[in-house]
Amino acid sequence: MQKLMMVACTLVGLAAYATVAISAEDLVAAVKERRHLMKEVVAPNAKLGGQMVKGTVAFDTTKAAAAMNEISGVPDKYVKLFPKGTEHGAVKDSEAKATIWDDFDKFKATAQKLKDASAKAAGAAAQGQGTFTAAFNDMTKVCKECHETFREKLEQ
Ligand code: HEC
């Protein structure tokens, strides 16, 4: 048993050594920045789009397009904020499932889908509320798809 513990400690030590290039502060900063992008950029613009779809906020072509373009600007930056060692449990407040690093290509492809779907919704805004609604709903499916696979939602 003691021997097993020692092996486990050595492995943890090695894992820490392997990521030595990235400091603990950098890992924390990456989590903070990516949370900021989801919470302060993606979510409020998606909320505004949803309100225009429901009609609780008057539909406005320019504002709807601007909101979707804001979202579209996020994915390229977003996927760069996932250094190894920032999964849920490793860094406080991280909601990133380890599955992200099991299949990083799929994670990137899903982010690309959000970029495309939000750009499409931005373009659809000019064609009126009906066209916008369809494109907006397609975009929110991508949010759900990615969260189901890659996000470990924390109890707040
Ligand atoms: C490519 C995958 C992906 C897509 C697409 C995606 N998200 Fe996320 N989202 C995540 C991950 C991963 C987290 C958790 C990240 C972390 O905490 O480390 C997250 C977290 C969040 C959070 C919590 C932020 C916080 O820290 O409080 C909100 C809100 C959110 N997403 C909204 C959205 C909305 C709205 C959409 C669609 C318009 C969306 N997301 C699309 C992956 C995605």
Task: Give domain status of residue 87, yes or no.
Answer: yes
Q: In the chain, how many H helices and how many E strands?
A: 8, 0
Give the residues surrounding ligand 1 with Cβ less than 6 Å away.
31, 34-35, 38-39, 42-43, 46, 71, 94-96, 107, 110-111, 114, 139, 142-143, 146-147, 150-151
Q: Which two tokens stand for residue 124?
A: 């659809």
Query: Which amino acid, 151?
Result: R
Structural domain including 134 reads: 23-150
Asked whether residue 48 is assigned to any structural domain, the reply reads: yes
Give me the number of domains the chain comprises: 1
Ligand 1: atom nearest CA of 100 is 12
Residue 156 lies in a domain: no
Report CA-CA distances (Å) from 114 to 57, 64, 79, 117.
Answer: 23, 16, 12, 5
CATH number at residue 41: 1.20.120.10
Distance 59 CA to ligand 1 centre (A): 25
Nearest of 156, 18, 3 to residue 85 by alpha carbon: 18
- Is 96 among the domain residues? yes
Give pLDDT tens digits along the chain (156 positions): 455 544 444 444 445 545 456 899 999 999 999 999 999 999 999 999 999 999 999 999 999 999 999 999 999 999 999 999 999 999 999 999 999 999 999 999 999 999 999 999 999 999 999 999 999 999 999 999 999 999 998 875
CB atoms within 10 A of CB 5: 9
Cα 78 to Cα 91: distance, rounded to the nearest angstrom? 17
